[in-house]
Amino acid sequence: MMPADLPDPAFGATLTIDLDALVSNWRLLGKRAGTEAGAVVKADAYGIGIEPAVTALAKAGCKSFFVAHVSEAIRARKVAPDATIYVLNGLLPGAAETFAAHGLSPVLGSHEELLEWASFRQTGAQVRPAALHVDTAMNRLGLWPGEGLNLARERSGVIAAAGIGLVMSHFASSEDEAAPANARQIAAFAEIAAALPDLPASLKNSSGHFLKDCPSYQLTRPGYALYGGNPTPGQPNPMKPVVGLEATIIQTREVQDGTQVGYNGRWTAKGKRRLATICLGYADGYPRNGSWTDTSTGGSALIGGVSCPFVGTVSMDLIIIDVTDAPADAARRGGSVTLIGGPLDLETVGGGAKTIGYEILTSLGRRYHRRYVGL
């Protein structure tokens, strides 16, 4: 075993995941909503690991989890035997028995799904309550609001037969407070929830917790903010950082003015520069076009507290960094480089890679030494 604070030389990079911060973010969101907060743990809990995340949250009292796929739900079930586990992608044809076998709850989003689930229930199968998804803006999954209202009005019908225990909808632009879609979605969902007064309802994703004039209903569904992502982009991040990423420098070199660097020589040194190579690349979730070239901007890392740009095309297993401005005692073979942490938050890293923090988080590589701390 390596001492906890030294990098394990069998790995090129260390991903540190703070489970105390995860739980504290979940508590903060629940407090803010003033209602039960669930947890969205799809995509391997946004890259941090579904088993450790669900274990920590369930122990802290989280009772409702949301995943995308049945396979993810089965993993969550193993570590949360009593929780309600909703499968957001709904009921694929023929999947009902698997749902029943693991006590999972489909999020039903079409008449076909409602009918298939209802007829499965009629066979006497023991199942947990399902959720009904109403699409108020995304045009992705869910019934139209009008269809939802019609079903709600024929009280005897399919909603009862399908054993619905939750009605939900999903925001399309809640991270943008000024987006006109927010108020439209809030109003459309209020009508649905009012037509189904006996059912608990759920609307808020992470950013929804910070929207003005948005009711929390009975359950919220935060994902990104649990993992430290900023639910209020452009404003200070109210969440605690959960993820830190450090890599080790393999070698350094000095290059002369005009030297081309990396595959296809897409970055050219202007003047004498000092470069360092670290052992992590696009196979570890760093987008190939997320570096500085002669014609485009890119991301950076922190070395001895100094921001140092990625240069040349990101390779599969390696990134080249211009460390000219970094302190020499830090920018050396074996030196440590921060890729996520401190001022390099998920939004900054996402922006540097021409994507969003969500994609950085859910792409976090499988080859890192993963270190879980807290709890």
Ligand X SMILES: *Cc1c(COP(=O)(O)O)cnc(C)c1O
Active site residues: 42, 263
| Interacting residues of 323 by C-beta distance below 8 A, sequence separation 6+ | 252, 274, 275, 276, 303, 308, 331
Q: Taking Cα atoms as reference points, which of 216, 204, 140, 144 lies closest to residue 174?
A: 204
Exposed (0-12), middle (13-18) or buried (19+): which is 371, by Cβ within 10 Å?
A: middle
Q: Does 209 bind ligand X (CB under 6 A)?
A: no
Minimal distance in Å, beta carbon 206 to ligand X?
A: 3
* Phi, psi at 263, each rounded to 5°: -50, 130
Q: Are the beta carbons of 338 and 312 closer than 8 angstroms? A: no
Furthest CA-CA distance within the chain: 78
Tokens at residue 93, please?
């044809």
Minimal distance in Å, beta carbon 65 to ligand X?
A: 11
Q: Does 223 bind ligand X (CB under 6 A)?
A: yes
Tokens at residue 48, please?
């941090």
Minimal distance in Å, beta carbon 169 to ligand X?
A: 8
For residues 67 and 319, which CB has a smaller minimum distance to ligand X in the complex? 67
Residue whose CB is nearest to ligand X in the complex, by number: 223
Q: Does 210 bind ligand X (CB under 6 A)?
A: no
Rounded-to-integer distance, Cα 124 and Cα 4, Å:
53
Minimal distance in Å, beta carbon 228 to ligand X?
A: 12
Beta strands 105-108 and 319-322: pairing type?
unpaired
For residues 167 and 278, which CB has a smaller minimum distance to ligand X in the complex? 167
**Residue owning tokens 């990625």:** 310
Each residue 1-40 as x (binds ligand X by CB under 6 A) or -, in order, gives: ---------------------------------------x
Q: Taking Cα atoms as reference points, which of 206, 204, 228 lies closest to residue 364?
A: 228
Please give the size of the binding site for ligand X, defined by CB under 6 A: 10
For residues 37 and 303, which CB has a smaller minimum distance to ligand X in the complex? 37
Select from 2-10, 117-125, 223-231, 258-266 the region that touches ligand X (CB under 6 A).
223-231
**DSSP annotation of 134:** B
For residues 40 and 95, which CB has a smaller minimum distance to ligand X in the complex? 40
Minimal distance in Å, beta carbon 88 to ligand X?
A: 5
Among 14, 185, 206, 216, binds ligand X (CB under 6 A): 206
Question: Would you tell me how many other CB atoms lie within 10 Å of the CB of residue 294?
Answer: 12
What kind and span of H or E run contains 14? strand 13-18
CA torsion, points 260, 307, 363, 345, in degrees to nearest 10?
-160
Among 37, 88, 303, 344, binds ligand X (CB under 6 A): 88
Minimal distance in Å, beta carbon 74 to ligand X?
A: 19
Q: Does 80 bind ligand X (CB under 6 A)?
A: no
Among 221, 266, 273, 274, binds ligand X (CB under 6 A): 221
Select from 27-35, 47-55, 215-223, 264-272 the region that touches ligand X (CB under 6 A).
215-223
Q: Does 224 bind ligand X (CB under 6 A)?
A: yes
Binding site for ligand X (CB under 6 A): 40, 88, 170, 205-206, 221-225
